[in-house]
Amino acid sequence: MYDLTVIIPTFKEESNIGTIIKAVDAVFLQNRINGEILIVDDNSPDRTIELVREMQKTLPYLSLAVRIEDPGLSQSVVEGFRRAQSDIFLVIDADLSHPPEHIPLMLAEIRAGNDIVIGSRYMEGGGIKKWPLKRRIISLGATFLGRLLFPEIHDPVSGFFAVKRGVVDHAPLRPRGYKILLEVLGKGTWHTVKEIPFEFVDRAIGSSKLGWRTIIEYAAQVLDNARFSWNHHGSVVWQEWVKLFRFGIVGLTGIIVNEGLLIYLRSYAQFALPVASIISIELSILSNFILNDSWTFKTGQHALPHWWQRLLSFQVVSLGGAAINFVILNALALYVGVDYRVANILGIVVAFAWNFLVNRRVTWKKSGQVVPSQEK
């Protein structure tokens, strides 16, 4: 039994496989890690399998699994979960995009009690080197969708992560495409996540396997995770749906407060319209804040610990939402020819999305790296 299994999914990696195995082996030796290197290959037509078998003659802890059916990176990783001879798994790419020297730190964080440790490109200290603009845009879009499901996590689609066996042992994983971490987060059983920054370096040898099929598979995976959450109300994703629903209810009460005050101040108190409008808007924002702070986002410790800090943040975000609504309404109605009522509804929808996402990630962001319990 090993202390750690490093899972390396491969397909046509003859140019990189020897280098990545030697790099991981060096990390094991330098840090005295009792580890296993598990290559899971999709029956590569090049010399990848041959090279691994040759290296197995001198590395007794190097294992090889060759898959014939249902090819795919995520499928290979899940096969690695099944075959691993340890209770801690670490997934790393074969193309040297992920730094093997981070393995000891990730293992230490798992041993410290975290269920999942993620190498993050999008937190402070992380980054990406040598990526073309198109791929950066696709990656940011994928990350944005992932963060809709897991707003506390900076890089929920990272391919570089460590996980305890217990997280995935009984998870109904449906692997597809390249974003297996999203599947683990959405369907695994976990309590805490830790992210550590790293700099992603695009492969120096070989070609990327990113294509339209990958993008479509990822979109399907996001939808599948959302569907899964509806049937598993203890999941982290379901908790986000609940917050979104409550945020919407609070928004509706804000409309009632705004409209009621506006009518009263204008018709009965005889306030001038600009003054009545400002007062009603501000009091509706205050009402929304109180309800969101005490109901929608009441659980957990917030990164902004004082209520007045959260109120100030909420005010700024709300003004941003109002500006977005104003711009969309006028741009569509005046320059595109959309009916102003339709344009206003579109503006409200976009502003609502802005308000929820930004407030979720800024105003009521949780402190630290602990993420709510994921129960099945």
153: number of CA atoms within 13 Å, CB side?
30
State the CB neighbour count (10 A cutoff) for residue 305. 9
CA distance 136 to 208: 13
Per-residue pLDDT of the chain (376 residues; tens, 9 = 90+): 899 999 999 999 999 999 999 999 999 999 999 999 999 999 999 999 999 999 999 999 999 999 998 888 899 999 999 999 999 999 999 999 999 999 999 999 999 999 999 999 999 899 988 777 767 777 777 787 787 778 778 899 899 999 999 999 989 888 777 789 989 998 898 989 999 999 998 765 555 555 566 677 777 777 787 777 776 766 677 787 888 899 999 999 998 998 899 899 988 999 988 888 889 889 999 999 999 999 999 877 788 999 999 999 999 999 999 899 888 888 888 888 888 878 888 888 888 888 998 998 899 987 754 444 444 4
- Bridge-based pairing state of the strands 116-120 and 161-164: antiparallel
Beta strands in 137-218 (DSSP E): 161-164, 193-197, 199-201
Contact 317, 358 (CB under 8 A): yes
Closest CA to 177 of 212, 226, 144, 217: 217
Residue 23, burial from CB neighbour count under 10 angstroms (0-12, 13-18, 19+): middle
Round to whole Å and give the CA distance between 323 and 222. Answer: 30
The residues, ordered by sequence, that sit 6+ positions from 347 with a Cβ below 8 Å of its Cβ are: 324, 325, 326, 327, 328, 329, 332
C-alpha–C-alpha distance, residues 130 and 5, integer Å: 29
302: β partners:
366
pTM: 0.73
Helix locations, 264-339, DSSP H = 273-291, 307-330
For 334, the token pair is: 């005046």
